Chain A
Amino acid sequence: MNGLLNISPVYASILVVMLPFFGFLMQAVLGKKSNSGNIGLATIILSVCVSFFAVFLPVWNGAPLTERMHWFTVGGKPFYVGVMLNNLTVLMQLIVGIIALPVHIYSRAYMRNDPGIHRYWMFLSFFCFAMLGLTISTSLLQLYVFWELVGFASYLLIGFWFTKESAVQANKKAFIINRIGDIGFLIGIALVYTHCGTVDLGELFGPQGVFLPAVNADGSWLTLAGLAFFLGAMAKSAQFPLHVWLPDAMEGPTSVSSLIHAATMVAAGVFLLCTIFPLFNETVLLTIAIIGCITALSAAIFALGQYDIKKILAFSTISQLGFMMVGVGIGSWDTAMFHLATHAFFKCLLFLAAGAVIHEMAHFKATHQLDIDPQDLRNMGGLRRYLPTTFVCMTIASLALAGFPLTTGYLSKDSIVVQAFEWGFHLGGIYLLIPTTLAAVSLLTAFYIGRLLFKTFFGKFKFAEKLQKGELHDAPIAMTGPMIFLAACCLFPTCSFHPFDYHQSWLLGGFHVKTAFAAVAEMHSAVPLVLTLGALAAWGVGWRWYVAKRYPLSKNNRWVRFATRQGYFNEFYQLLFVKGTEQLSRGVYAFDHYVVDGLTRTFSAATRRLSVAAHWFDRHMVDGLVNLIAGTTYYVGHLVRHVQNGQLQSYLGFALTVVVLGILYLIIK
């Protein structure tokens, strides 16, 4: 280990990134091997070790390190690639690695018998490469490259079961919506480049992390650029109204959902905003806060109405990302990063546990040849007796998500809500709506995750009569091991030794964010108390509704249906954008075919007509004139020809006639 510690963190971080890439290359070259997972696993283990010992420990709370290398020059402007190590980036890199490792181990068991397993490992390694690279990029362009590559990896993994129609529809949707964000990102880069002449984060923000305006920093372009970057983050982090791809992305393998669509890639949007935070002005920050707030609320509502266990978790992810966005929007991006870190663990765990449940349900479905959806909550119930480890892990994660004390989620969520209240009080008036909504969403969160937990693990199993003994059981250790590890990470000691005060967290201590608003002491005790009590109440209601079977709402309740159908956003987008674009493209093609090409054809037809007309004119008029002259001459000749008939008598007769005529003429004259 000492040898490793001696290498520079910069090179170590490059090694962290390149190891999974090396694994990807190895698997690509080796091709179809069922044991190719070993390579992926080995590289990620190494990568995490290096990341922790050689990058995180030396850099955390130390001086930021930047190392860059000339990439290419366009015109006179050089572009660089490189590594930027500071508290933010090394933390993010470590989180990605630490989440990726259990997911890799879990996948070994979860994906074991899949025929396309070699592709799975290849894509997964590729994703890890891109995601790890994203975290430590030093220039916006480089960041953008990795940004799109993670999207590409996500595309590949969502559509991993490419024969499934819904999966390939989902990955297309995911990529295209992410593309919208990418365009925003690209526009942002172009604006920054135009006005500052560089896209290098170090040059832009300097070691102090404040925006160093090379040109005048005020002006509308800053707002525009900020909004453009936020658009990028919105698509990647599934913010309202671009959130629609994430629930569909659940078509991918569950292990993929846990890594990419819960913990790491979707958080990249928040990470981006934290990285370029100094760029944002008041307007942009307010927009971020508002959008985050709307997202948190709408997603929480949609989560209430879902029956698919993974879709609930997907909406929960969207909702929590909304929290993080609000954290950025109110200016305390440290809390956003804090929540990102804690959320990564418990949400990943929730997915892995859900995966274990789905795994068992699918197995059960296969043995009994039932026509059920193994992910549907309505087919579950009472599973805690059969899958105790899974149940415990899931409960811990749910508690963390719901924000119960002693969990990491409690600390991080409270940090955002408390700061939001302080921000709201600072600005006053209508701005208080945002923290209030967040508090309400916290309660909703507790309720929907309680609903998931109760419906899955409590009550009676729907197909209990068919169940044979020992048929449903906990997953093998390769799956439960990672879950237990993550469950341990969801408890408060991971990030703070004080269970109730988030200020003690080492994680927040790593970021020195100065907020514009003053601390309000009462909030620090009132908000956690109210939220905890509210969450308890929400679980109480959930217990009463779902376990004690006193469900008060009718099945056809409009609001329930509204939530189940995800607020009709998919239908709306399908109608407006997908159909609209299709119609537009058809219209344009018709225009092209009939008008533009039609014009060409009209020209050619007109030319041909003209040529026919010219031919007619030539033949009948010009040539006609010539023929007329010739014909007339011929005809006259033809007439006169009879005179020259060789008959002496006629000649004489003619002569006589002429003489007679002559005489007559002389007489008449």
Chain B
Amino acid sequence: MGILSLLIFLPLFVTLLILVLPESAGRMYKYLALGITVIQLGISLYLYQVFDVSSAGINQVNGYQFVEQLPWIRMDLGSIGLLEIDYFVGVDGISLPLIVLSTLVMLMAIGASWNMTKSGKGYYALLMLLNTAVVGIFSALDFFLFYVFYEVMLLPLYFLIGIWGGERREYAAIKFFIYTLLGSVFMLLVIVGLYFSVVNPATGAHTFNMLLMMDPGNYTPDSFFAYANTYHNVLGLEPRLIGFIILFFAFAIKVPIVPLHTWLPDAHVEAPTPVSIILAGVLLKIGGYGIIRVCYSIFPDMAALTNWWIALIGVVSILYGALNALAQKDLKRMIAYSSVSHMGFVLLGIASLTAEGVSGAMFQMISHGFLSAALFFLVGVIYDRVHDRYIYNFRGLASLMPKYTAYVAIAFFASLGLPGFSAFIGEAFVIIGAFNAESMATGLPRWMAIGGSLGILLSAAYFLWTLQRMFFGQTRLFGGQAWQSALTDLSAREQIVLFPALALALLLGIAPSLIFNNLNSSVLQLIDLIKPFL
């Protein structure tokens, strides 16, 4: 068993262990979960450390590292041929930073759920199952395996929101589940279509191997998804375009894009704090990762064809999310909408098809990962104390909770792109990349970059408004004296959870090369992959 498999299946093992342990060992669960996530973070950091930054990945199997490839399912289907499904995992510069991010966010989530009392057994078992699925998604290189992990991820989330959530948890859980399933069901169709179009040159059998799908030479001529296929047209559209759109749709729901974002505010608001953290910190990144790994790499021709529209969606998401955030009165909902806005930058950066833009998008994903996790955690802090998060009900918290205010201010300023913090690098390079797109002739007009940069302005507006409205001024609380005594400053545990996230934001803002070094070759490889089709 390779180190990557260990990383993936360690939490699954813990899930089983938790399920086997008797109920009387209730206090053990969280220590078990904590221990295993710490080990996971250690492993992922070790991987990050020994990662060879010069190898590119994307569409070359020898560019991937820590690769494990085992035959998983081999079935003779007679005339259709041999069914070839591999257990095929590996990482490149795109996926490894996200794996590190997800292990870190998981650790934060465990820290945030320390005081969880409601049936810990199921909770931690599901959390660990989710952990396995997430790391699996980021490292799977076989499309079938990818899909399996993708679906496994849904199950624990549904229960985590539906059982441990807020008032309207059932509604939110079902909405989330159906939305995601809607995307993934159609994705399955495309996966099957790709399977029948691609042949493994080594064995002559059809394959689910994603890397083989990225090579135009492996497509059987006249197959459904073959390049320049004109006589399988569906409704006058090229099949590859349809496949691309369907896959994009599936991942775009996860990102989420406007107008497929409405599950997000509901799910975030109703989910318990740790699940909000995971949702914002990791789950949204799966969308962005899927677009890069699957949509853009397998359909580079269509990526070049559609990037104008995708960038438009990105810009609309940025502005729309920011304006919505500005109108919110519920703190958590405000942050949920700000996620929509920030993830719009990811889409804009990816669609720019420039090295700067894609790097910026990746950086933005990572930065948003722990910053949004920190933001949701901060909302959780206040909600834990007074079970209210209506912005107008608070005023002048700075006098009451100075440490909390300092953390909130840092997190807000980091999120609104203050230089020195990671979000700045991400957003700035997305904007620069989008500008650069015109001179690289990738077909993005400059007004999109300018539109995106307006989002930076609006993000300042809603974060500062909240800061001013809730934290500054004379202390005045809706709950009066009761709240005043309930609103105690941050505890040591809360600071331990928050500090690394914000410190990391600062570290990456000052030394972005920590991420860029690992990204660069993969990003360039991706650009090279798409460039011939521009």
Instruction: Give residues in A with beta carbon < 8 Å to B.
Output: 71-77, 141, 144-149, 152, 159, 162-165, 167-169, 171-172, 175-176, 179-180, 182-183, 186-187, 189-191, 193-195, 581-582, 584-586, 588-589, 592, 596-597, 599-600, 604
Contact = CB atoms under 8 A, between A and B. Distances in A.
A168 B469 CA distance: 9
Contact of A586 (B258, B327, B434, B436): B327
B513 interface: yes
B323 A73 contact: no
B345 to A, nearest CB: 13
Contact of B324 (A148, A149, A588): A588
Contact of A75 (B325, B468, B520): B520
B453 A183 contact: yes
A77 B454 contact: no
Contacts of B245: none
Given A73-B516, A179-B460, 11 more contacts: A72-B512, A72-B513, A74-B356, A74-B360, A74-B516, A75-B356, A162-B471, A171-B468, A176-B460, A582-B326, A596-B262
Contact of A581 (B461, B475, B512, B527): B461
- Best-buried of B263, B471, B473 by chain A (most CB within 10 Å): B473
Nearest to B515: A72
A600 B438 CA distance: 36
A175 B464 contact: yes
B495 interface: no
The 10 closest A-B pairs by CB, nearest first: A75-B355, A589-B327, A190-B435, A72-B513, A145-B419, A585-B326, A168-B472, A585-B327, A588-B323, A597-B262
A152 B418 contact: yes
A180 B457 contact: yes
Contacts of B420: 145, 149
Contact of B419 (A77, A144, A581, A604): A144
A315 to B, nearest CB: 25
- Best-buried of A144, A592, A599 by chain B (most CB within 10 Å): A592
B30 to A, nearest CB: 32
A74 B429 contact: yes
Contacts of B214: none
A164 B117 CA distance: 41
B259 A163 contact: no
A149 B418 CA distance: 7
Contact of B511 (A72, A182, A597): A72
B328 interface: yes
Contacts of A164: 473
Interface in B278-328: 320, 323-328
Interface in B322-370: 323-328, 354-356, 359-360
A186 B523 CA distance: 23
B138 interface: no
A584 B323 contact: yes
Contacts of A172: 464-465, 467-468
Given A588-B327, A599-B259, A163 B474 contact: yes
A573 to B, nearest CB: 13
B335 to A, nearest CB: 15
- Best-buried of A72, A77, A189, A604 by chain B (most CB within 10 Å): A72
A190 B449 contact: yes
B69 interface: no
B337 to A, nearest CB: 8
Interface string B168-193: 00000001001000000000000000
Nearest to B440: A194
A73 B517 contact: yes
Nearest to B428: A186
B473 A165 contact: yes
Nearest to B326: A585
B457 A71 contact: no
Contacts of A146: 419
A146 B516 CA distance: 21
Given A76-B355, A179-B460, A193 B435 contact: yes
A148 B418 contact: yes
Contacts of B474: 163, 165
Contacts of A167: 472
B323 A585 contact: yes
A628 B457 CA distance: 69
A193 B432 contact: yes
Contacts of B259: 596, 599
Interface residues of B, number: 63
Contact of B472 (A73, A162, A179, A183): A162
Interface of B: 175, 178, 258-259, 261-263, 320, 323-328, 354-356, 359-360, 396, 398-399, 413, 418-420, 424, 428-429, 431-432, 434-436, 438-439, 449-450, 453-454, 456-458, 460-461, 464-465, 467-468, 471-475, 511-513, 516-517, 520, 523-524, 527
B449 A187 contact: yes
A584 B320 CA distance: 10
A191 B453 CA distance: 13
B317 to A, nearest CB: 12
Given A176-B457, A581-B326, A168 B473 contact: yes
Nearest to B458: A581
B473 A163 contact: yes
A602 to B, nearest CB: 12
A190 B320 contact: no
A582 B458 CA distance: 11
Contact of B359 (A75, A148, A604): A75
Contacts of B431: 186-187, 190
Contacts of B325: 585
A312 to B, nearest CB: 27
A72 B328 contact: no
A589 B259 CA distance: 12
B463 to A, nearest CB: 10
Nearest to B319: A588
26 contacts: A72-B511, A72-B513, A72-B516, A74-B356, A74-B520, A75-B355, A75-B524, A76-B355, A76-B520, A145-B419, A148-B419, A159-B472, A163-B472, A176-B464, A180-B457, A187-B450, A190-B431, A190-B434, A194-B432, A581-B323, A582-B327, A584-B323, A589-B328, A592-B262, A592-B324, A604-B178
Contacts of B464: 172, 175-176
A183 B456 CA distance: 8
B324 A585 contact: yes
Contacts of A169: 468
B260 to A, nearest CB: 9
A167 to B, nearest CB: 8
A195 B354 contact: no
B356 A186 contact: no
Contacts of B450: 187
Nearest to A595: B259
B108 to A, nearest CB: 24
A600 B172 CA distance: 12
B391 to A, nearest CB: 14
Nearest to B263: A600
Contacts of B456: 179, 182-183, 186
A265 to B, nearest CB: 15
A72 B359 CA distance: 12
A608 B396 CA distance: 46
A527 to B, nearest CB: 41
A653 B457 CA distance: 101
Contacts of B468: 168-169, 171-172
A225 to B, nearest CB: 10
Nearest to B405: A162
Contacts of B424: 145, 148
Contacts of B323: 581, 584-585, 588-589
B128 to A, nearest CB: 31
A592 B264 CA distance: 12
B454 A183 contact: yes
Nearest to A182: B456
B346 to A, nearest CB: 16
Contacts of B263: 600
A128 to B, nearest CB: 16
Contacts of B517: 72-73
